């Protein structure tokens, strides 16, 4: 009798829970799940947004392997990911370590580091267009102070990618906040014990701090991985058309152009699915590798 | 079902906290403007214009609503819309398009080819808006496969604007080189000769002023895709059936563009270009004297009046390879999207624009946005201020936007009182035998993007123009074949 009542209560709880989250569930189904399924179906169709979709089988899927621009944007995005993610991680951890020190105005410095990540990406793109201005930009002006003649950042094929990477570092504030939270969680007794064992600052960083904040690093790396593979707004503003030699033309920019500039929605859907599969695969690799370097307390 | 208690009460309160404002919003929330009369058919008109151009069109629409619209039971609801081509397309795709959309000329063919806009031939014929009413180049740009899919609203032909004061500064060396500082160059060789002389560098050797700059599409290099026209070519040969960029006019044109950076030093030129402010700014390089010449449409007179009214400038056809007058044209157009609910009423508004008797519209927002209750007429005695003349609605809006007229027979008052003192030059260019638009191709946006990438390479690197254009041609041919297949799937021909 008691078991039946407990069962009924549990069922009621589930029903009640589902009822309460139903607005989100409906929204997710209508605006996310259904479009994902439809985009899969449209990737096998010719569709210009107006006329009825025409089934064309695997033509788009075959076509994207023969499309030189797909390889170009894949390469650009992979290079960007390979540069931005490690540099962002190292810089983020370093900033968090600095901001974790008991220095005067600690809260102010933390706010200063976090504030840029609140700016809309389009605004960031416009601001950095001027920062990179070859003649009047702050960066070249600063370089000139130390006798360096800065490059024409936005007009030089070899400087287009570094420009985007530097711009990406502008908004590392949110990763720094996560690292800071992780650093607050490192038990003091571990530092004390390592100190007694004769560990120096570098040794403490390597053997205590980094392992203890590795879950935070893992979180930031997975989120960052997804983010860098979807980079869009800022380079779209700074490098219309992809910049010199299209060295700042990224995957999502190409998907957007195919869908909304050229109205090849079917092809854009196929491209989006490839992007999804790449991100899923890289995320899976990150999860798999985490067994070897992420340390959870009590695990 | 639920246990009674504090939790239940909290849940009920939460529902009320969310539900009561929601119900309130539904009952008392925002409503459509009450100025829309209930007894009239509302024509939803999406237009891209903002600032003084948008205000002028709003004034014209208000005039229509007060006069002809009232008589015909039509109310045009002007809605400013950014990214208008994409939004119109999506709304059309969703079955809820505006009744009237103000698009760019480059949209005409792509919309028509995908059945996103309605053919207007029959309506135009019934209203007496015939082909010979319009200047041919503006009419042609509204057609696809011979059918009319749009009507011009504010057209323009591009010309050369030159700063007479700057040229006067260099009068002596110009004269020594056999050039007249008071007259604009007629050929590209003359333009090059001007460019060699009219330039200034700072103490550090960096460029501070140039005569002219072809420039990149991303800065002030507008109309970058039209260079072959000035080299005597066409952008598209209908007989060819595809976009060709590996022909002599293209190779000559873009080799000339590339030679520009080589002559002045690539890094110097790119640095100089990167330092220039954008077009719509008081720091426009023509206003600041950083560029002595710019290629612009008639609207440039407005910008000059707004930001640097004291500049002494002249307007001339842009120089060509052989001195013959040629022109690149642009225009904004009106289309009726497929599925528009009030297509007849939308057309009635277009018909009024083109066929109504001349009108006087109360507008404080003419020309530069400084306020025009008058116009300036140039007489032998000087500039005379007169009340705005009555103009046909289509010419009134072109006048207010400082653009060309699309009409083959313009009102004398249009040219006489136009806010651009050199409108005759633009008008003559549009009527010339070699006035051209961008190619009428359904996939022009994609081809143009590829062309743009090649142009940037030619402008910013030392890859020879011929080599880059030949590589581009291969890519364009692939894209053209794809477009042909796409059209064939719907039983349509390319282009």
Over the stretch A256-270, which tens digit does the pLDDT of each residue have?
Answer: 999 999 999 999 999
B215 plus B298 within the same structural domain: yes
Closest residue in A to B482 (Cα–Cα): A63
Determine contact: B218 vs chain A, CB below 8 A.
Answer: yes
Average pLDDT over residues B355-370: 72
Name which of B378, B372, B348, B345 is nearest B360 in CA terms: B372
How far apart are the CA of B263 and the nearest CA of chain A, in angstroms? 18
pLDDT surpassing 60 at residue A54: yes
Q: Is the pLDDT of residue B237 over 90?
A: no
- Inspect the interface and report whether the beta carbons of B275 and A54 lie closer than 8 Å: no
Instruction: Tell me what pLDDT residue B368 has.
Output: 52
Residues B221 and B114 in one domain: no
Give the mutation candidate from B110, B112, B486, B491 for the A interface (greatest A CB count, under 10 A): B486
**Least CB–CB distance from A257: residue in B116, B275, B449:** B449
Q: What confidence score (pLDDT) does residue B271 get?
A: 87
What is the CB neighbour count within 10 angstroms for residue B246? 15
Q: Give A119→chain B minimum CA distance, Å.
A: 22
Q: Are residues B349 and B297 in the same domain?
A: no
A6: its two tokens: 């407990």
Q: Decide if pLDDT at B372 tops 80.
A: no
- Contact across the interface for B217 and A46, Cβ inside 8 Å: no
More confident residue, B413 or B428: B428
CA angle B31, B33, B36 (to 5 degrees): 125
pLDDT of residue B51: 83
Element (H, E) at B114: none
- B385 interfacial to chain A (CB closer than 8 Å): no
- pTM above threshold 0.90: no
Contacts of B453 in chain A (CB under 8 A): 241-242, 246
One domain, residues B285 and B147: no
> For position B220, what pLDDT does the model report?
81
Gap from B325 CA to chain A (nearest CA, Å):
32
Q: Does B296 share its domain with B246? A: yes
Domain membership of residue B214 as a residue range: 159-329+437-489
Q: Do A51 and B449 touch (CB under 8 A)?
A: no
Q: What is the pLDDT of residue B365?
A: 52
Which one of B19, B118, B456, B457 makes the best mutation probe of the A interface by having the most chain A beta carbons within 10 Å?
A: B456
Stretch B352-362: mean pLDDT: 91
> Per-residue pLDDT tens for B460-482?
988 999 999 999 999 999 999 99
Residue of B13, B274, B340 for testing the chain A interface, max A β-carbons within 10 Å: B274
Structure confidence at residue B373 (pLDDT): 63
Are B279 and B349 within one domain? no
pLDDT above 80: residue A232: yes
Kindly report the number of other CB atoms within 10 A of residue B355's CB atom: 14
Q: What tens digit of pLDDT does each residue of A156-166 get?
A: 889 999 999 99
Bridge partner list, B375: B386
Provide the domain count of chain B.
2
Output the pLDDT for position A166. Answer: 93
B272 close contact with A: CB closer than 8 A: yes
Structural contact between residues A53 and A45, judged by C-beta atoms closer than 8 angstroms? yes
pLDDT of residue B391: 92
Spatial contact of B158 and B296, defined as CB atoms under 8 Å apart: yes
Q: Is the pLDDT of residue B3 over 60?
A: no
Residue B32 has pLDDT above 70, yes or no: no
pLDDT of residue A171: 86
To probe the interface with B, which of A8, A44, A50 has the most B CB atoms within 10 Å? A50
Q: What is the pLDDT of residue B34?
A: 58
In the predicted structure, residue B374 carries a pLDDT above the cut 70: no
A67-293 architecture in CATH?
A: Orthogonal Bundle (1.10)
pLDDT tens-place string over residues B238-296: 888 899 999 999 999 999 999 988 899 988 998 899 888 878 778 899 999 999 999 99
Tokens of B114: 């995908």
pLDDT tens digits along A273-298: 999 999 999 999 999 999 999 988 76
B365 inside domain: yes
Give the per-residue pLDDT at B381. 72
Q: How far is B128 from chain A (nearest CA, A)?
A: 31
Q: Average pLDDT for residues A170-190, to the nearest whole number?
A: 92
Contacts of A152 in chain B (CB under 8 A): 267, 270-271, 274
Predicted local confidence at residue A65, as pLDDT? 93
Task: Tell me what pLDDT residue A156 has.
Answer: 87
pLDDT tens digits along B449-459: 999 999 999 99
Same domain, B190 and B312: yes
Which structure tokens are listed for B122?
């029959």
Do B125 and B263 reside in the same domain of the chain?
no
In the prediction, which pLDDT does B14 show? 81
How many other C-beta atoms are found inside a 10 Å radius of the C-beta of residue A244? 25
In this structure, what token pair is assigned to residue A58?
């695997």
**Share of residues in chain A with pLDDT > 90 (%):** 77
B293 and B313 inside one domain: yes
**Residue among B116, B449, B456 whose CB faces A244 most closely:** B456
B456 to A241: CB separation less than 8 angstroms, yes or no: yes
Beta carbons of A241 and B89 less than 8 Å apart = no
Can the peptide bond before residue B495 be classed as cis, meaning omega within 30 degrees of 0? yes
CB contact under 8 A, B2 and A136: no
Same domain flag for B172 and B255 = yes
pLDDT at A1 over 60: no
Confidence band, pLDDT 50/70/90 cuts, at residue B8? confident
Q: Which A residues in the span 43-102 are in contact with B, Cβ-Cβ below 8 Å?
A: 46, 48-51, 54, 56, 63, 68
B112-126 per-position pLDDT tens digit? 999 999 999 999 999
Q: What is the CATH number of the domain that holds B204?
A: 3.40.190.10
pLDDT in tens, B290-324: 999 999 999 999 889 888 888 999 999 999 999 99
Residue A245 pLDDT greater than 60, yes or no: yes
Question: Three-class SS of residue A203?
Answer: helix
Span B9-14, average pLDDT: 80
B137 and B118 Cβ atoms separated by less than 8 Å: no
Higher pLDDT among residues B389 and B109, named by residue: B109
CA distance A47 to B491: 14
**Domain end: B379, B403, B427, which one?**
B403
Q: For A188, which DSSP code? A: H
| Within-domain flag for B21 | no
Query: In this structure, are B196 and B282 located in the same domain?
Result: yes
pLDDT at A63 over 80: yes
- Cα–Cα distance for residue pair A133/A128, rounded to 1 Å: 8
pLDDT of residue B397: 94
Per-residue pLDDT reduced to its tens digit, A67-80: 999 999 999 999 99
pLDDT digits 0-9 by tens, B63-83: 999 999 999 999 999 999 999
Could B338 and A50 be called an inter-chain contact, meaning their C-beta atoms sit closer than 8 Å? yes
DSSP string spanning B264-285? H-HHHHHHHHHHS--SSSTT-H
A245 vs B206: CB contact, 8 Å cut-off?
Answer: no
Q: What is the overall mean pLDDT for chain B?
A: 91
For B358, the token pair is 């001349």
Q: Do B90 and A242 touch (CB under 8 A)?
A: no
In angstroms, the CA B38 to CA B61 distance is 17
CB contacts, 8 Å: A262 with chain B: 443, 445-446, 449
Give the Cα separation of A73 and B390 in Å (integer): 55
| Pairwise CA distance, residues B91 & B106, whole Å | 19
Kindly list the residues from chain B whose CB atom is less than 8 angstroms away from the CB atom of residue A257. 449
Half-sphere exposure of A49 (CA within 13 A, CB side): 25
Please give the structure tokens belonging to residue B469: 């254009």
The radius of gyration of chain B's CA atoms, rounded to the nearest angstrom, is 26
Domain co-membership, B230 together with B287: yes
| Interface residue B110 vs chain A (CB under 8 A) | yes
Mean pLDDT of B49-71: 92
Per-residue pLDDT, averaged over A146-153, amounts to 89
pLDDT-based confidence at A252, cuts 50/70/90?
Answer: very high
């Amino acid at each position: 009798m008691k078991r039946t009542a407990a069962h009924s209560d549990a069922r009621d709880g589930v029903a009640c829970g589902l009822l309460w989250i139903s607005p989100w569930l409906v929204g997710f189904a209508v605006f996310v799940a259904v479009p994902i399924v439809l985009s899969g179906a449209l990737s096998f169709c010719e569709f210009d947004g107006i006329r009825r979709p025409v089934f064309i089988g695997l033509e788009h899927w075959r076509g994207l392997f023969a499309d030189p621009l797909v390889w170009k944007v894949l390469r650009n995005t992979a290079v960007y990911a390979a540069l931005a993610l490690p540099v962002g991680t190292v810089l983020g951890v370093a900033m968090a370590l600095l901001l974790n020190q008991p220095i005067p105005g600690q809260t102010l410095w933390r706010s200063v580091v976090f504030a840029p990540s609140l700016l809309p990406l389009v605004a960031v793109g416009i601001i950095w267009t001027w920062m990179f201005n070859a003649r009047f930009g702050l960066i070249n002006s600063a370089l000139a102070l130390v006798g360096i003649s800065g490059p024409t950042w936005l007009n030089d094929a070899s400087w287009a990618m570094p420009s985007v990477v530097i711009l990406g570092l502008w908004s590392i504030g949110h990763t720094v906040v996560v690292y800071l939270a992780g650093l607050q969680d490192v038990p003091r007794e571990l530092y004390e014990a390592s100190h007694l064992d004769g560990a120096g600052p570098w040794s403490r960083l390597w053997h205590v701090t980094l392992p203890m904040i590795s879950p935070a690093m893992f979180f930031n790396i997975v989120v960052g991985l997804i983010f860098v593979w979807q980079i869009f707004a800022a380079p779209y503003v700074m490098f219309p058309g992809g910049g010199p030699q299209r060295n700042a033309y990224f995957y999502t920019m190409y998907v957007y152009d195919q869908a909304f500039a050229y109205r090849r929605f079917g092809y854009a859907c196929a491209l989006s699915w490839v992007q999804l599969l790449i991100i899923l695969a890289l995320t899976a690799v990150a999860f798999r590798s985490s067994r070897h370097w992420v340390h959870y307390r009590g695990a | 079902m639920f246990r009674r208690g504090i939790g239940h009460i909290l849940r009920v309160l939460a529902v009320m906290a969310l539900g009561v404002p929601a119900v309130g919003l539904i009952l008392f929330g925002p409503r459509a403007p009450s100025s829309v009369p209930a007894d009239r058919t509302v024509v939803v008109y999406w237009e891209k214009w903002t600032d003084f151009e948008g205000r002028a069109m709003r004034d014209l629409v208000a005039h229509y609503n007060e006069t002809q619209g009232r008589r015909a039971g039509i109310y045009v609801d002007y809605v400013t819309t950014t990214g208008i081509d994409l939004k119109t397309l999506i709304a059309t795709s969703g079955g809820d398009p505006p009744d009237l959309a103000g698009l760019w000329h480059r949209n005409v063919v792509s919309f028509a080819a995908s059945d996103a806009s309605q053919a207007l031939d029959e309506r135009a014929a019934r209203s007496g808006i015939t082909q010979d009413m319009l200047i041919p180049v503006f009419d042609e740009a509204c057609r696809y496969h011979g059918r009319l899919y749009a009507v011009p609203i504010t057209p323009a032909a591009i010309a050369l604007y030159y700063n007479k004061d700057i040229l006067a500064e260099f009068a002596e060396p110009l004269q020594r080189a056999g050039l007249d500082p008071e007259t604009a160059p007629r050929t590209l060789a003359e333009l090059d000769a001007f460019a060699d002389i009219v330039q200034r560098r700072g103490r550090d050797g960096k460029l501070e002023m140039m005569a002219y700059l072809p420039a990149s599409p991303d800065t002030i290099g507008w109309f970058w895709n039209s260079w072959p026209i000035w080299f005597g070519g066409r952008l598209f040969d209908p007989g060819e059936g595809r976009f060709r960029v590996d022909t002599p006019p293209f190779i000559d044109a873009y080799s000339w563009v590339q030679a520009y950076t080589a002559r002045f030093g690539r890094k110097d030129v790119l640095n100089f270009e990167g330092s220039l402010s954008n077009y719509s700014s008081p720091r426009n390089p023509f206003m600041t004297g950083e560029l002595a010449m710019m290629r612009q449409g008639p609207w440039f007179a407005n910008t000059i009046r707004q930001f640097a009214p004291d500049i002494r400038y002249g307007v001339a056809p842009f120089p060509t390879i052989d001195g013959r007058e040629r022109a690149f044209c642009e225009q904004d157009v009106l289309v009726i999207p497929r599925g528009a609910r009030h297509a007849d009423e939308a057309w009635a508004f277009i018909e009024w624009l083109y066929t109504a008797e001349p009108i006087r519209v109360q507008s404080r927002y003419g020309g530069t946005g400084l306020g025009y209750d008058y116009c300036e007429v140039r007489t032998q005695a000087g500039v005379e201020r007169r009340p705005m003349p009555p103009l046909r609605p289509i010419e009134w809006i072109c006048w207010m936007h400082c653009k060309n007229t699309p009409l083959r027979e313009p009102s004398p008052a249009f040219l006489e009182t136009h806010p651009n003192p050199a409108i005759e030059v633009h008008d003559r260019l549009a009527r010339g035998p070699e006035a051209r638009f961008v190619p009428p191709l359904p996939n022009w946006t994609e081809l143009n993007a590829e062309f743009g990438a090649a142009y940037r390479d030619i402008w910013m690197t030392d890859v020879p123009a011929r080599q880059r254009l030949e590589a581009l041609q291969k890519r364009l041919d692939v894209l053209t074949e794809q477009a042909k297949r796409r059209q064939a799937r719907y039983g349509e021909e390319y282009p």
